[in-house]
Amino acid sequence: MTSTFFGIETMRRAILTHRTVMDVIGHNIANASTEGYHRQRAVLKTTEPFAYPGTNITGVGQLGTGVKIQEIQRVVDFFVEDQLRVGTSSKGQLEIEKETLRRVEAALMEPSTTEGLSDVLSTFYKAWQDLSLSPDSTAARNQVLSAGQNLVDVINQIDQSLRDIRSDLNAQVRESVTEVNRILSELATLNDEIKKVYVHGNNPNDMLDTRDALLLELSQYLDINVSETDNGMIAVHSGSRQLLWDMNYSPLSDSLAWDHPSQNTQTPYFSDVTQADFNMLADFSSGAFKGLINSRDEIVPEVQDWFQDIVRTLMNEVNTLHSAGFGLQQYSQDIGVTTTSDIVVSPPGAGVGDNSVTLTSVQNVLIGDILHIEEADTQEGDGVTVKVIRLDGNRVYFETLDDLSLNKARWEGDALSTFTVGSGAHIYKVDEPKNLFFDLAITLPSSFKADMAPTYTSTMISTVQLHQDIDLNTTLADIERIYGIDLTDALTGKSVALSNDAITQNFTESTTFGFFLQKMNEMRPEINGGKQVELKFDEINHRLVLTGSEYTSLSELGGKYGSEMGIMRLFGFEGQALTGFQLFEGAALYTTTLSEIGVSDGYFLVDGVSLYADSTQTLANNLNNWNAALNTAGSTSQGTSIFYDPTARRIKIVSDHAFSVRDGVNQAGLPNAPFIKSNFLVEMGLQADNGQITFSAAQQKASITSSDTGARIRVNEALLGNANLVAAATSAAGVPGDNSIATAMGATRTVLAMNSTGVGTVITPNESIEEYYDAQIGALGTRSQRAIVDLEVTERFMEYYEQKRDEVSGVSLDEEMTKLIEAQHAFAAASRMINVVDEMIDRIINGTGLAGR
């Protein structure tokens, strides 16, 4: 026999349960279109059956007591959720790559009839052809210059666009890092709250939905693996790194790449993505980060590489021809009138003889100059062109140019084939317009104001890894203890004295490291020509970094003699290391010659020792020779050595004492003979001795592919100022009808100069510049098309799994409505039952014991 209110209780449970069921249905309906919502359903379970205690039970046995909600379950398929994350990562990566490639295509503007490189290059070649038809025309020359300007404009514009794309991508990397960190922090918080709910035995369904949505958002940026820990919390891995576990997360940071080729401190470096000092760039296998890194470091630089190859080849072809040619002859300088006797000019091969003239002043005349000698009364241009071969006081010796039969001359009746110019002749100096057509334009990007004068000095960086316990708050005493060094100066006991003339600073044991560094930086401002030498503590990588600019300052940094900065050696500095520009990939000690790096034969000076760079020899051979020269027994340069760091791919000069580097000096010993100077130091990134900036091909390549200022080209300004300097003739004597340079220039259109199977390496050329360019555009198109197709495939994949998720977890209004009716009926039936039981009880209460009344 059950209790009086047994039935009511059962129904009460039914009513409440079904009420809740309706609420759950209501929740589903309300969230039918909520993004990422997984439908919930109340799982009903019978309540504990009522069983009579005792062993001799007769009767019905267990009696059901009603219904309860076991749990409100979130209907979810974990496999599908996982696949969606995979797809999102993939999509995140491909979207970026596709977008980048589309932007690159837009930058190149091909195929088009008027704006792309193909068109302006074609116009350039045609302008030269037109000049070959009228080599005497200034108008045709102006056309050539105008076409050259347009060509240069398009080249620079494309170059700038490619750079812009790269810095854009870089900015996106930074933004993405911020986003990822935000998501991680939210996930950590959520984890905590979810745990609390689970601990109480409930399902935090909506929070789980939120968490899933966050995970999906996170997977867009990088490929993640999600695993469960206790109490419903999760841990998130990416690659080999853990990002989140329970309520803790390890954020990402973007750190500036340190060993940047340009070493120009005014330029932002590209960002690396790191986590706790681990560079994650290589660790990503999917996601927006991967897409950004691929695009920034592979896709765009690849395009920049072949583009730069084209520009360089074009520039070399044009310049080689043009600098061997002559423009419309200018007799600019009238050297003077001769008053002495006839000048006798003999043909080449007749010996130097007496071909000479005495001038009142030879100030403007140099060996190798081209002179033009005319009789006083002839029309201009008539006369003879000669080349100066020797100077002896005021006497100028010369020989005639070329074959005399090509030479304009009036011949006088002598037995020898000589040309005699009467006295009173005019002598003109012929401008030898051995001009380049293109040269490099060095510009700073407009966003950097600081120092507009383009001086490129290499920042000398020396770094040492510090013990992990050291930070800016560590006291000197602790540092001493950690390193086992004694920072004391014997004279002042337990303190370190640094002094220059103005300031004396004493440090004590309790001085913090940060303060120490600060004071060190303030103490020696006069080092380095007034520019600061700086000590910096790199928190991210836990290093101490010593930087200075201008190579002459290096003699003050580090070193075991003299300078107070010698203290730095105690921290482990090896002396200065000059780190030069980064060598090309594939550079190897025993196979790469200096000429491949771009270094020319000649001398340079390190630590007072003159070293010879042999461009035909390998790196290894040169290094051996140099080190042998530096380390000869007893020389002051002992302790200095030059080595190649293969991981960083740089040549480094290291010493245990102060040293300096300079350009080579006169080796030939002749008073006015030019010394042979190697461009080794310039290649290393140092400022050239005479204050001029030179760029080697490698530096151009490195700088044009890096994000900072780089080499672009422009038309030689001298030509722009005077169109007649544009060369069409191969010899001064052939002007103005000689068009061979112009013809050759037009013909370079079909010259085989490039090979698209090997960018950057030396391969037999089998394509003209145009063919190479066409092939690269085709390759770019293919790559871009592939990215578009890949993205479409991924989108289909996503669609499929989204459809699958929806199948499992989506809300169907028809279904919910049907279930609602069910619940409604159950509710109604239960209340009916309550009425019934109520009536029954009423009968008992109010009807019992009133029999017969």
Partner 1 sequence: MVFSRVTNSAMTNIFINDIRRNLADITTLQHQISTGKRVSFPSDDPVSADRILRHTQELDKIDQYIRNIKDADGLASSQDSLFDTLESVLMRVRDLAVRGNNEAPFTQNDLDPIAQEVDQLIHMMWTQANQKFNGKYVFGGFQTDKMPFAISNELEYVVSGLGAATDTLTMPATSTGNISKAITDANSITDIQIFNAGTGTWNSVGVAITSDPATNQVTVAGGGNTFNNGDRIRLVFNKDVIITYNGDMGEKEVEISEGMNVKTTFVGAAADASRQTTIFGTQSEDERTAKSVEAFQLLFDLRDNLYKFQASKDAGVDIINDLGQAITDIDGIRNRITDARAELGGRVNRMELATNRHESMKIENKKLLSNHEDVDMTEALSDLVLKQNIYQAALAAGAKIIQTTLLDFLR
**Shortest gap between Cβ of 721 and partner 1 (angstroms)?**
23
From the list 82-90, 209-217, 714-722, 812-820, the region that binds partner 1 by CB under 8 A is 812-820
Site for partner 1 in 360-399 (CB under 8 A): 379, 381-382
Cα 332 versus chain centre, distance: 48
Look up residue 106 and give its amino acid.
Answer: A
Which residue's CB is nearer to partner 1, number 408 or number 560?
408
CA angle 471, 474, 475 (to 5 degrees): 150
**Shortest gap between Cβ of 209 and partner 1 (angstroms)?**
15
Q: Which of 531, 441, 440, 459 is nearest to 684 (CA)?
A: 459
**Shortest gap between Cβ of 405 and partner 1 (angstroms)?**
4
Which residue's CB is nearer to partner 1, number 763 or number 817?
817
**Shortest gap between Cβ of 673 and partner 1 (angstroms)?**
37
Distance of alpha carbon 835 from alpha carbon 444, whole angstroms: 90
99 binds partner 1 (CB under 8 A): no
Site for partner 1 in 303-362 (CB under 8 A): 341-342
**How many residues contact partner 1, by CB under 8 A?**
87
Count of CB atoms situated within 10 Å of the CB of 764: 8
822 binds partner 1 (CB under 8 A): no
Distances (CA, A) of 386 to 29, 357, 389: 100, 12, 9
806 binds partner 1 (CB under 8 A): yes
Which residue's CB is nearer to partner 1, number 276 or number 813?
813
Distance of alpha carbon 701 from alpha carbon 699, whole angstroms: 5
Residues 6+ apart with CB under 8 A from 594: 613, 614, 615, 616, 617, 618, 619, 622, 680
417 binds partner 1 (CB under 8 A): yes
Structure tokens at 471: 């930070």
114 binds partner 1 (CB under 8 A): no
Which of residues 61, 348, 353, 424 is near partner 1 by CB under 8 A? 424
Structure tokens at 613: 């760079």
148 binds partner 1 (CB under 8 A): no
Count of CB atoms situated within 10 Å of the CB of 161: 16
Which of residues 239, 251, 336, 422 is near partner 1 by CB under 8 A? 422
Which of residues 635, 667, 743, 824 is near partner 1 by CB under 8 A? 743
Site for partner 1 in 750-769 (CB under 8 A): 750
115 binds partner 1 (CB under 8 A): no
From the list 114-122, 195-203, 831-839, 845-853, the region that binds partner 1 by CB under 8 A is 114-122
118 binds partner 1 (CB under 8 A): yes
Residues 6+ apart with CB under 8 A from 98: 784, 787, 788, 790, 791
113 binds partner 1 (CB under 8 A): yes
Backbone angles phi, psi at 759, to 5 degrees: -75, 130
Structure tokens at 515: 């303060």
Distance of alpha carbon 599 from alpha carbon 613, whole angstroms: 8
Which residue's CB is nearer to partner 1, number 34 or number 835?
34
Which of residues 80, 85, 91, 110 is near partner 1 by CB under 8 A? 110
Q: Is the dihedral of CA 522, 527, 531, 535 positive or negative?
A: negative
Distance of alpha carbon 261 from alpha carbon 476, whole angstroms: 35
516 binds partner 1 (CB under 8 A): no
From the list 112-120, 153-161, 362-370, 531-539, the region that binds partner 1 by CB under 8 A is 112-120
Which residue's CB is nearer to partner 1, number 482 or number 788?
788
**Shortest gap between Cβ of 751 and partner 1 (angstroms)?**
10
Which of residues 404, 427, 719, 726 is near partner 1 by CB under 8 A? 404
**Shortest gap between Cβ of 400 and partner 1 (angstroms)?**
13
Which residue's CB is nearer to partner 1, number 140 or number 654?
140
Give me the residues paired with residue 395 across strands.
358, 392
589 binds partner 1 (CB under 8 A): no
What is the contact mask toward partner 1 in residues 44 to 83, using x (rule: CB under 8 A)? ----------------------------------------
- Burial environment of residue 48 by CB neighbours within 10 A (0 to 12, 13 to 18, 19 or more): exposed
436 binds partner 1 (CB under 8 A): no
Distances (CA, A) of 30 to 22, 33, 122, 239: 12, 8, 65, 39
**Shortest gap between Cβ of 104 and partner 1 (angstroms)?**
10
Torsion of CA 705, 711, 715, 720, to 10 degrees: 150
Q: Which of 563, 577, 743, 733 is nearest to 654 (CA)?
A: 577
Q: How far is it between the farthest Cα atoms of the chain?
A: 175
Q: Which of 710, 709, 754, 782 is nearest to 104 (CA)?
A: 782
142 binds partner 1 (CB under 8 A): no
Which residue's CB is nearer to partner 1, number 382 or number 717?
382
Distances (CA, A) of 438 to 212, 312, 701, 718: 59, 10, 17, 10
**Shortest gap between Cβ of 472 and partner 1 (angstroms)?**
52
Site for partner 1 in 155-184 (CB under 8 A): none
Count of CB atoms situated within 10 Å of the CB of 69: 17
734 binds partner 1 (CB under 8 A): yes
**Shortest gap between Cβ of 413 and partner 1 (angstroms)?**
5
406 binds partner 1 (CB under 8 A): yes
Distance of alpha carbon 752 from alpha carbon 468, whole angstroms: 58
From the list 495-503, 647-655, 677-685, 776-784, the region that binds partner 1 by CB under 8 A is 776-784
Which residue's CB is nearer to partner 1, number 116 or number 598?
116
Which residue's CB is nearer to partner 1, number 428 or number 551?
428
Site for partner 1 in 783-802 (CB under 8 A): 783-785, 787-788, 799, 802
434 binds partner 1 (CB under 8 A): no
Which residue's CB is nearer to partner 1, number 717 or number 806?
806
From the list 131-139, 143-151, 241-249, 566-574, the region that binds partner 1 by CB under 8 A is 131-139
Q: Do the strands 343-345 and 356-358 form a parallel or antiparallel pair, or are they unpaired?
A: unpaired
Which of residues 292, 653, 702, 729 is near partner 1 by CB under 8 A? 729
Distances (CA, A) of 51 to 9, 11, 59, 844: 16, 19, 10, 25
From the list 111-119, 348-356, 457-465, 541-549, the region that binds partner 1 by CB under 8 A is 111-119
Half-sphere exposure of residue 703: CA atoms within 13 angstroms, side-chain side:
27
Distance of alpha carbon 510 from alpha carbon 508, whole angstroms: 5
Q: Which of 599, 638, 639, 643 is nearest to 620 (CA)?
A: 643
Structure tokens at 764: 């037999």
Which of residues 61, 493, 562, 737 is near partner 1 by CB under 8 A? 737
Which of residues 73, 618, 660, 812 is near partner 1 by CB under 8 A? 812
Distance of alpha carbon 208 from alpha carbon 201, whole angstroms: 15
From the list 109-117, 179-187, 246-254, 430-438, the region that binds partner 1 by CB under 8 A is 109-117
Q: Which helix (H) or strand (E) holds 107?
A: helix 78-108
Give me the residues paired with residue 663 across strands.
604
Which residue's CB is nearer to partner 1, number 165 or number 233?
165
Structure tokens at 163: 């750079």
